[in-house]
Structure 1
């Protein structure tokens, strides 16, 4: 995982995601998931491009089961975008970088 990509867990979910003052992009993934591995470079690029404007991270669904269950994550990879502690966008499957940029642009994040 790139240095700019944060690791989210059930334990730090509230402080890192729900209480964040900046928009948060969360990639729900698992090590055995092929499509998740295909999406990883896109998530890393997103984190690098947006730097401090957006918090980008991953949550391993095998190691953290409470949070995905509470958010009705039924397939991975699923990427959720949070703003002000609320889910504002949901992208399921392997999506291109511009889909994520579009979601952030809707929130007023300069792209």
Structure 2
């Protein structure tokens, strides 16, 4: 996993999201998920490109069930953009880096 990606879990999720002064993109994923593996390099490129502008995070849904359940996540990969601790946008399934960037740019 890239150096510019923050790993979240059920314990630190809300403190991290609510404590961020910048938008936060969270990738909800699992090891067994094919599309999650396909999107991982796209997320890493995005994290490198947006370093200092957007906090990019990943949360493994198998290891942390409370947070995705609380957010109503039914399918993975799910990417959610948070601003000031609130969800502002969500997408499900494989997306290219440029599509994810457009989703985030709307909130910058």
- TM-score range, shorter-chain basis? over 0.9
Which structure 2 segments of 5+ residues have no match? none
Q: Distance in 2 between matches of 1:71 and 1:18?
A: 15
1:66 maps to which residue? 66
SS at match of 2:94: coil
Distance in 1 separating the partners of 2:105 and 2:29: 24
In the other structure, the counterpart of 2:56 is 56
User: Size of the alignment, in residue pairs?
Assistant: 108
Question: How does the TM-score come out when normalised to structure 1?
Answer: 0.94
Q: Which residue in the other structure is 1:19 paired with? A: 19
Q: CA separation in 2, counterparts of 1:82 and 1:99?
A: 17
Partner of 1:81: 81
The residue that corresponds to 1:101 in the other structure is 101
Q: Which runs of 4+ in 1 moved over 3 A?
A: none
Distance 2:72 2:19 in 1: 20
Distance (whole Å) between structure 1 residues aligned to residue 107 and residue 37 of structure 2? 27
Root-mean-square deviation (CA, aligned residues, Å) is 0.8
1:20 shift after superposition: 1.2
Partners in 1 of 2:24 and 2:78 — Cα distance? 14
Unaligned regions of 5+ residues in structure 1, if any? none
Q: In structure 2, what is the Cα distance between the partners aligned to 1:101 and 1:44?
A: 12
